[in-house]
Amino acid sequence: MTATMRAVVLDVPGRVRVQEVPRPTLESATDAIVRVTTAAICGSDLHLVDRKIPGMEKGDVVGHEFVGIVEDIGDAVTTVRPGQRVVASMFPACGHCRSCMRHQYRTCPSFQIFGGGPGFGDLLGAQTDYVRVPLADMTLVEIPEAMTDEDAVFTGDILATAYQGLAEGGVRRGDSVAVVGAGPVGQLAVMCAPLFGVDQVFAIDLVPERLEAAKALGAVPVDARIGDPSDAVFDQTGNLGADVVLEAVGNEAALETAWSVVRTGGTVAMIGVLYDEAWPVSAGDNWLRAVTVKPIVGDPLTHRHELLRLIETGKLDPAGIISHTMDLDDAAEAYQLFKEHRANKIVLKTGATP
Amino acid sequence: MATLTSTDDVYTYIGGIFREALADPVLGPQLAASGVVLRLDYRHPDAVLVVDFPGGTVHLGPDGELPKANITLSMETELAHQYWLGRVNAAAALAKGQARAKGSIPKILKLAALAKPLFPRYEASLRAAGLDRLVDEVGVR
Ligand SMILES: [Zn+2]
Ligand SMILES: [Zn+2]
């Protein structure tokens, strides 16, 4: 009889449930099995569950942000060993192909996203008790002993995504930055901005709690319910607009806002998940504005070591944005809270301990 | 640099040049085809104009019912005045933050180019009113 475990799975579109599924086993010599201790819920999980990104079927396991203990490793795994506490990159990659050499992991032949559905490699998700981790040497990294799961889990996706937006967005010291969407990713971008020499960050959102959270992290809050966000940004940038804009929502309204606040010659980094949205301006309009566009998938593999170090040295405090710590069994309720903006960031605990 | 001194002047001379443009047999249809309803927010002196190109009407604000604009430009009145005298590079003014634009940049630049034949008429309208000073006093920016 196969052993089973709990997993958060798609129930009906828009809803998850916790159910028993077969426990994964090693399938390849480069795999590891990780006993999950902490898994976080991400905005992209909602996109998948709500089927904005199509492909997830009833019973598919979700989740790509996780920390755990290495339980078992394949014969070819050399850099992690059982018993180690590790954080995973939200996607595995091979580490030696042409794309990986260029840090363009998205086009690595081995690129898959945990719990990303059939469109992203059909790899099972990580909001579970156990998860199979392909290419464990690349995908996993040990967590410094003194660091909490709650801090480390952010380096597997959203902290790396926010940081990557600023890095790839080409932010320079003294630039003004606008973040469209003050959810967890936007808040982390605000948190990271001083590391790039930025002291003026606008956080644009419609949700008062999110604006408050961004403000507490040092952002200038811009409430898009009250006026045109571009007025606030242009008024406070000498009528120029923001040098770099991070679109951290992933919908057409947010794209429109992003293009309305970017300066001529500025950059829009698209860090929100997009699927089939139209461009907010014509190609010619974009050319005339000389706006550089960067579509970004967060890159934990490139940035996790520096991020772990920045957390260790107290320069970043990602766990500070967690509003709810809940049991994996309560995932359905957690998703609902997150979807309704009644929770800022939720981590699920499996109850497993090192 | 000398500029229009009152809101009424803005409505008379800048409003006037838009009315001329709309009435022009060649330019009028080209402007109408743009589909643009242009709102202009001027400062010092403050004035609001909404030019409905398809509708062929110029509305003077800020009070009263104004048509909904699909392009908005805001700037110092002086910049608008200099523009109509043919002394402003529209694209550069936007990039430098002298003017703020909301809406399609290609349409704005196209309108700016279409307006070129009207520059002498704007100048003429000021001279006809004895406002030569506004044309001849060219300050150094
Ligand atoms: Zn995520
Ligand atoms: Zn590769």
Q: What does the pLDDT look like over A281-307, one tens digit per residue?
A: 999 999 999 999 999 999 999 999 999
Answer whether A94's CB lies under 8 Å from A100's CB: yes
The partner residue sitting opposite A264, judged by closest CB among B94, B102, B109, is B94
Residue B136 lies in a domain: no
| Closest C-alpha among A54, A241, A313 to residue B100 | A241
Q: Does B101 touch chain A (CB under 8 A)?
A: no
pLDDT band at B139 (very low <50, low <70, confident <90, very high): low
**Centre of ligand 2 from the C-alpha of residue A101, in Å:** 7
Total residue count of chain B as it appears in this document: 141
Residue B45 lies in a domain: yes
CA Rg value for chain B: 14
End-to-end CA distance of chain B: 9
B102 with A234: Cβ contact below 8 A:
no
Model confidence pLDDT, tens digit, residues A107-139: 999 999 999 988 889 999 999 999 999 999 999
- The total number of structural domains in chain B stands at 1
Q: Which three-class secondary structure state does DSSP give residue A181? A: coil
B106 with A260: Cβ contact below 8 A:
no
The partner residue sitting opposite B106, judged by closest CB among A234, A240, A285, is A285
What confidence score (pLDDT) does residue B64 get? Answer: 80
CATH class of domain segment(s) A4-157+300-349: alpha beta
Return the half-sphere exposure (C-beta side, CA atoms, 13 A cut-off) of residue B66.
19
Q: Does B98 touch chain A (CB under 8 A)?
A: yes
Question: Residue B74: closest CA among chain A residues belongs to which residue?
Answer: A239
pLDDT band at A52 (very low <50, low <70, confident <90, very high): confident
Question: Residue A242: closest CA among chain B residues belongs to which residue?
Answer: B97
Q: Which three-class secondary structure state does DSSP give residue B36? A: coil
- Per the structure, the complete domain to which residue B72 belongs is given by 7-130
DSSP assigned state of B92: H
A:B CB pairs within 8 Å? 27
H, E, C per residue of A82-132: CCCEEEECCCCCCCCCHHHHCCCHHHCCCCCCECCCHHHCCECCCCECEEE
Residue of B43, B96, B100 to mutate for A, most A C-beta atoms under 10 A: B100
CATH class of domain segment(s) A159-295: alpha beta
For residue B32, is pLDDT > 60?
yes
Residue of A259, A261, A285 to mutate for B, most B C-beta atoms under 10 A: A285
What confidence score (pLDDT) does residue B110 get? Answer: 92
Model confidence pLDDT, tens digit, residues A53-93: 888 999 999 999 999 999 999 999 999 999 999 999 999 99
* Rounded Cα distance, A13 and A49, in Å: 6
CA distances from A145 to A67, A149, A264, A348, A354 (A): 13, 10, 46, 20, 11
Model confidence pLDDT, tens digit, residues A321-353: 999 999 999 999 999 999 999 999 999 999 988
Chain A hits for B97, Cβ within 8 Å: 234, 238-241
ipTM computed for the complex: 0.89
**Centre of ligand 2 from the C-alpha of residue A102, in Å:** 9
Dihedral over Cα of B106, B111, B117, B122: its sign: negative
Q: For the whole model, what pTM was predicted?
A: 0.93
A285 with B91: Cβ contact below 8 A:
no
CATH code, B45: 3.30.1050.10
CA-based nearest distance B79→chain A, Å: 14
Per-domain residue ranges of chain A: 4-157+300-349, 159-295
Question: Residue A233: closest CA among chain B residues belongs to which residue?
Answer: B100
User: Is-cis flag, bond preceding B45, omega within 30?
Assistant: yes
* Rounded Cα distance, A145 and B39, in Å: 61
A288 with B105: Cβ contact below 8 A:
yes
Label residue A289 exposed, middle or buried (CB < 10 Å: 0-12, 13-18, 19+). Answer: buried
Q: Which three-class secondary structure state does DSSP give residue A245? A: strand
Summary count for chain B: helices (H), strands (E): 8, 5
Q: In one letter, which amino acid is A146?
A: A
The β-bridge relationship of strands A85-88 and A140-142 is antiparallel
pLDDT (mean) for B43-67: 92
Question: Residue B108: closest CA among chain A residues belongs to which residue?
Answer: A285
Residue B94 lies in a domain: yes
Q: How many CB atoms lie within 10 A of CB B35?
A: 12
Chain B hits for A281, Cβ within 8 Å: 104-105
Chain A hits for B105, Cβ within 8 Å: 281, 285, 288-289
CA-based nearest distance B103→chain A, Å: 8
**Centre of ligand 2 from the C-alpha of residue A30, in Å:** 14
Q: Who contacts A210 (Cβ-Cβ below 8 Å, separation ≥6)?
A: A182, A183, A186, A187, A203, A341, A344
Q: Is A164 left (phi over 0), alpha (psi -120 to 50) or beta?
A: alpha
What confidence score (pLDDT) does residue A1 get? Answer: 61
Residue B41 lies in a domain: yes
Q: Which three-class secondary structure state does DSSP give residue A210? A: helix
H, E, C per residue of A223-237: ECCCCCHHHHHHHCC
Model confidence pLDDT, tens digit, residues A232-269: 999 999 999 999 999 999 999 999 999 999 999 999 99
Residue B49 lies in a domain: yes
Chain A hits for B95, Cβ within 8 Å: 264-265
Residue B2 lies in a domain: no
Chain A hits for B68, Cβ within 8 Å: none
**Centre of ligand 1 from the C-alpha of residue A113, in Å:** 10
Q: Which three-class secondary structure state does DSSP give residue B126? A: helix
Return the half-sphere exposure (C-beta side, CA atoms, 13 A cut-off) of residue A315.
13
Neighbours of ion ligand 2 (CB under 5 A): A 93-94, 97, 100, 108
Which helix (H) or strand (E) segment holds residue B73: the answer is strand B71-76
DSSP assigned state of A329: G
DSSP assigned state of B65: -
